[in-house]
Amino acid sequence: MQSAPIAGDRCPGRPFSDSQSPVEGTLWRAASDRIIFTPQPARQVCSAGDLSERRFMQASEESKVLAKRALIHLKNKTTDQAAGTLELPASAYVDAVRYEREVDRVFRHLPLALAFSVELPAPKTYLAMSVVGVPVVMIRGEDGVARAFINVCRHRGAQLCKPGHGTAQRLVCPYHAWQYDLEGKLTGIFGEATFGDVDRHTHSLTELGCAERAGMIWVNLTPGERFDIDEWLGDFKEQLDKVELEKWHVYQQSEFPGAGWKTTWDGYQECYHHGVLHPQTVGAYTITNLIVHDTFGPHQRMVFARRSLGQLNDEPEAQWDADQHIRKVYLGFPNIAVSAVMGGYCLVNQVFPGDTLESTITRQTILVRDIPTTDGEKRHVDEFADIVLRAIRDEDTPINRGIVQGLMSGRSQGVVIGRNEPAVQHFHKSLERIMEKSTRPAGA
Ligand code: FES
Ligand SMILES: [Fe+2]
């Protein structure tokens, strides 16, 4: 997947200057490469105050329960576990035919959380990106509804919008200036009298199934396939709702290449390696090899313990601020990790298969609950962003590249996933179940 830096990218020049433009008025620039997207109240994505309050109370109570579970593990030097170990052959990661089938079935036919609601902060805003080779544009219409289209003109196929964010009154093709409204209808054909017969009604943009839930925009990349997002998320929606992503602000986004999809994604689903691989970065804050794990269909919640967890033993439970001592990570199948970190920061990683089975693109987003206003506040967020970027790009990625090289060598005996890595196991088992259920041939 690729998308441009989020600020200021726009559709290319065209005869109609009012059609598309970079996002304006919704950006807050904290530093040269720091961008803030702010939610706009007119869009009705914020919860009512009492709902928000209720969610907060529920989340606090839930955090206490999770902290108690973590404290038991801390005391006993244990962790949540799967029933047994899981052995996977190298082919589970690097068999080209299997890989193509999985990417097709999972990434082209399941709902993917492609964007945050706040990335389309107002009517007439859009975000274009390429996902597993499919050019997509998501647009918030004048009615406030987010829609998704194949980002391809119905004339001769030019891409309507360059990757990145922008605003548009209408979409105007940069090649021959065909025009579409924000609901994808073909509304203008340049030189129509000379072009010949074209039925505008049958030449709308190709629409994709799209739904907005839990502060994210979910898209199915196969035209004609609709989905029930509530069914797909199930009880996981309630979990994501507690994060209230629609109320956060995008502070920084970056994209970086990595090793193969499943190898890279495995690393997001355990903290067994934190103290070993990340002693100076994320491992400095979490207790290695302690996880509290729950599943919601194919989706999951992991809770890591912060090093301060034991302090709760010295406080009356009624006074616990449990969220200061644990870190919840929500894993949306197949590729998104939402980590609402204490201190008002949220880290979201989306891992997309790259052009080959040895490559991925990770889209990393740092969100802030409150826009930092002082240099000190900005420095704190920047330090947080730098730590997680270093951990993933500079520490995880080289390890993962080595793993993939070994798996591809033809000499690997595969991998064994421990009982103490229950989330990694659940991911692979969920994938297996989804693939078993699929009768669709690859590419169909
Ligand atoms: S390709 Fe879009 S107008 Fe020609
Ligand atoms: Fe890691």
Structure confidence at residue 164 (pLDDT): 97
Whether 33 shows a pLDDT value over 70: the answer reads no
Q: Which ligand approaches the C-alpha of residue 176 most closely?
A: 1
Structure confidence at residue 362 (pLDDT): 96
Residue 381: both structure tokens together: 């967020």
4-23 per-position pLDDT tens digit: 322 222 233 233 333 455 44
Structure confidence at residue 58 (pLDDT): 76
How far does residue 161's CA lie from ligand 2's centre (Å)?
A: 34
Q: Which ligand approaches the C-alpha of residue 339 most closely?
A: 2
Pocket test for ligand 1, best of 16, 178, 189, 190 (most atoms within 8 A of CB): 178
Pocket test for ligand 1, best of 156, 160, 205, 206 (most atoms within 8 A of CB): 156
Q: Give the closest residue to 167 by CA, choosing from 387, 14, 20.
A: 20
176-227 per-position pLDDT tens digit: 999 999 999 999 999 999 999 999 999 999 999 999 999 999 999 999 999 9
Structure confidence at residue 39 (pLDDT): 58
Give, as one character, the DSSP assignment of residue 222.
S
Cα distances (Å, whole numbers) of residue 8 to 5, 112, 118, 136: 8, 25, 16, 18
Q: DSSP per residue over 375-431, as a string?
A: HHHHHHHHHHHHHHHIIIIIIIHHHHHHHHHHHHTT----EEE-TT-HHHHHHHHHH
How far does residue 23's CA lie from ligand 2's centre (Å)?
A: 34
How far does residue 392's CA lie from ligand 1's centre (Å)?
A: 40
How far does residue 400's CA lie from ligand 2's centre (Å)?
A: 10
Structure confidence at residue 60 (pLDDT): 86
Can you tell me which atom of ligand 1 is nearest the CA of 157?
1
How far does residue 20's CA lie from ligand 1's centre (Å)?
A: 16
How far does residue 404's CA lie from ligand 2's centre (Å)?
A: 15
Counting other chains too, the contacts that 375-383 makes at CB distance below 8 Å and 24 or more residues apart are: 378/30, 378/31, 378/34, 380/343, 381/30, 381/34, 381/251, 381/252, 381/345, 382/31, 382/34
Q: Give the closest residue to 323 by CA, choosing from 338, 297, 341, 307.
A: 341
Q: Which domains does the chain have, with CATH numbers?
A: 20-31+111-226 (2.102.10.10), 49-108+240-437 (3.90.380.10)
End-to-end, the C-alpha distance of the chain in Å comes to: 21
Buried b (16+ CB within 10 A) or exposed e, 241-277: bbbbbbbbbbbbbbbeebbbbbbbbbbbbbbbbbeeb
Q: DSSP per residue over 5-38, as a string?
A: -SSS--PPP-S-TTSEE---SSEEEEETTEEEE-
pTM (2 d.p.): 0.89
Neighbours of ion ligand 2 (CB under 5 A): 267, 396
Q: Give the closest residue to 166 by CA, choosing from 279, 11, 316.
A: 11
How many whole angstroms separate alpha carbon 166 and alpha carbon 13?
Answer: 13
219-267 per-position pLDDT tens digit: 999 999 999 999 999 999 999 999 999 999 999 999 999 999 999 999 9
Whether 339 shows a pLDDT value over 70: the answer reads yes
Q: List all residues whose CB is within 6 A of at least one atom of ligand 1.
A: 153, 155-158, 173, 175-178
Can you tell me which atom of ligand 1 is nearest the CA of 178?
3
Pocket test for ligand 1, best of 137, 162, 175 (most atoms within 8 A of CB): 175
Overall average pLDDT of the 126-151 stretch:
98
Q: DSSP per residue over 133-165, as a string?
A: TEEEEEEE-TTS-EEEEES--TTT---SS-SEE
Can you tell me which atom of ligand 1 is nearest the CA of 153?
2
How many whole angstroms separate alpha carbon 6 and alpha carbon 421?
Answer: 35
289-319 per-position pLDDT tens digit: 999 999 999 999 999 999 999 999 999 999 9
Buried b (16+ CB within 10 A) or exposed e, 135-144: bbbbbbeeee
Whether 28 shows a pLDDT value over 70: the answer reads no
Q: What percent of the chain has pLDDT over 90?
A: 83
Whether 25 shows a pLDDT value over 50: the answer reads no
Q: Which residue has the tokens 């009982």?
A: 419
Can you tell me which atom of ligand 1 is nearest the CA of 176?
3
